Amino acid sequence: MYNPTIESMPLDKLRQLQSERLKTMLQRMVDNVPFYRHLLREKGIAPGDIKGVDDLAKLPFTKKSDLRDHYPYGLFANPMSEIRRIHASSGTTGKPTVVGYTENDLNIFDEVVARSLVCAGAKPGMKLHNAYGYGLFTGGLGMHGGATLLGMAVIPVSGGMTDRQLTILQDFEPEVMCCTPSYAQTLAEECRKRGIDPKELAVKFAILGAEPWTETIRSQVEAGLDVTATNIYGLSEIIGPGVSQEDFQEKGSGSYVWEDHFFPEVVDRDTGEPLPYGQEGVLVFTTISREAFPLLRYWTNDICSIYYDANAKRTHIKMSAIKGRADDMLIIRGVNLFYTQVEEIIDDMDFLVPNYQLIVTREGTMDAVEVSCEVGDGVNHEDDSLAQQLLQRIKNTIGLSMKISLQAPGAIPRSQGGKLQRVVDRRIMA
């Protein structure tokens, strides 16, 4: 553990700490952020009405549209003279979401990333191959700061330039690497193509996040790079990477949410009502200790569940892997569809590998999905019986008929360093 006092704090103490932090934050919001001052006044809520985190459900949500409406700095709670860094996440449409950090916020960012690194298997003295993009994206600089605080030597490779990444992995001998899971797939595949024996690489741990991924991708990356791969989750609005992290010795049981800083709730996608632990819904965060960019019940749009794990080393709550984003959910002939549902089926079929795309088109008034997926080495992609098997399985499991187009190995675009687009939406063009 990086900070045992906090990471294994008894739950009643943790609730007290969270409640104190929430009350302080609410007062700061009302004092310094006109948007929240008006919002709470409109709802008839004074900061004093909120006694602690148990009262959170009385408070309104903050949505991405609120951030856009106050672009770029309208929700900052500190004057610019106290801001030390600005990051932004590029939306698929329109202006980016801009977030600010005070010095104290950056210290918290470093600490939660340092905790996450230890959770993933990293130790002081190790080298981190950091292949998250450096720049406005929080991944590169976020991991960098945490690793520096932990006492690691950071190799700031950033994303892309796969040849150079492989040379660095071979020659600089980093024990830990971090990048998106789809880019880790690319690196694993390139090692195989070039005859690089992963056992000869020093790298032991891979910290993967910034996009949804599945157990099959984990197996593929772990075998292809000879690493233990864990999940890191985060979003720029809340801080960046390091909102939650999976422990390398508790793989598959979910990721610890650093809830002394980021208070999580899971709510019903339609009604906004908080859901019981273990039930899947929209993940919502309240940033109880952020200074420059405090957010009340921020609607992340990410779909998962949260739960306490009695067998866990730490006391903090865990979250399941993200199934998808509510705004990425496709509604095809009335059926809700996340691309990860198709991925799970692909994972289950021996003759396929999880290199795939879903292509959404409109035929007349109906939306249709084509699954374009690679077959494994040595499998004939033109064998129609294989396409039929996949079609049938999707029909039986999801209840939808999809066009299947099996591809030869290597045909589907790979991640060139960043997040990979799994869904190609051609409806707008149609």
Q: Which residues contribute to the site for ligand DLL (CB under 6 A)?
A: 89, 132, 137-139, 209-212, 231-236, 240-241, 300, 302, 322, 325
CB atoms < 10 A from the CB of 151, how many? 12
Look-up: residue for tokens 């020093």? 202
* Residue 88 or 202 having the CB closest to ligand DLL: 88
CB atoms < 10 A from the CB of 266, how many? 24
* Residue 19 or 132 having the CB closest to ligand DLL: 132
* Residue 179 or 191 having the CB closest to ligand DLL: 179
| Non-local CB neighbours of 120 within 8 Å, separated by 6+ positions | 176, 205, 207, 230, 232, 245, 246, 247, 248
* Residue 329 or 391 having the CB closest to ligand DLL: 329
Q: What are phi and psi of 278, to 5 degrees?
A: 95, -15
Tell the burial category of 350 from Cβ atoms under 10 Å away from its Cβ (0-12, 13-18, 19+): exposed
**Shortest Å distance, C-beta 170 to ligand DLL:** 24
What is the helix (H) or strand (E) element at residue 12, kind and residue range? Answer: helix 11-32
**Shortest Å distance, C-beta 338 to ligand DLL:** 11
**Shortest Å distance, C-beta 247 to ligand DLL:** 14
ω into residue 72 within 30 of 0, thus cis?
yes
Shortest-Cβ-distance residue relative to ligand DLL: 209
Nearest to 185 by CA among 232, 131, 242: 131
* Residue 302 or 343 having the CB closest to ligand DLL: 302
* Residue 159 or 224 having the CB closest to ligand DLL: 159
**Shortest Å distance, C-beta 236 to ligand DLL:** 4
Q: What are phi and psi of 304, to 5 degrees?
A: -165, -175
| CB contact at 8 A, 352 and 328 | no
Nearest to 89 by CA among 110, 64, 123, 111: 64
Q: What are phi and psi of 128, to 5 degrees?
A: -110, 120
**Shortest Å distance, C-beta 15 to ligand DLL:** 26
Dist. CA 216–CA 342, nearest whole Å: 13
* Residue 181 or 224 having the CB closest to ligand DLL: 181
Dist. CA 90–CA 418, nearest whole Å: 13
**Shortest Å distance, C-beta 344 to ligand DLL:** 14
* Residue 175 or 246 having the CB closest to ligand DLL: 246
**Shortest Å distance, C-beta 280 to ligand DLL:** 14
**Shortest Å distance, C-beta 349 to ligand DLL:** 23
Look-up: residue for tokens 């602690």? 52
**Shortest Å distance, C-beta 319 to ligand DLL:** 10
Q: How far is CA 403 from CA 195, 354, 386, 396, in A?
A: 36, 17, 13, 15
Q: How far is CA 73 from CA 61, 87, 99, 101, 293, in A?
A: 19, 11, 8, 11, 9
CA angle 260, 261, 266 (to 5 degrees): 90
**Shortest Å distance, C-beta 304 to ligand DLL:** 8
- Looking at 224-351, which runs of residues are DSSP E strands? 228-235, 240-246, 255-257, 262-267, 281-287, 298-304, 306-307, 318-319, 324-325, 330-332, 335-337
Give me the numbers of helices (H) and strands (E) for the chain, helices first please: 11, 21
**Shortest Å distance, C-beta 45 to ligand DLL:** 27
* Residue 18 or 320 having the CB closest to ligand DLL: 320
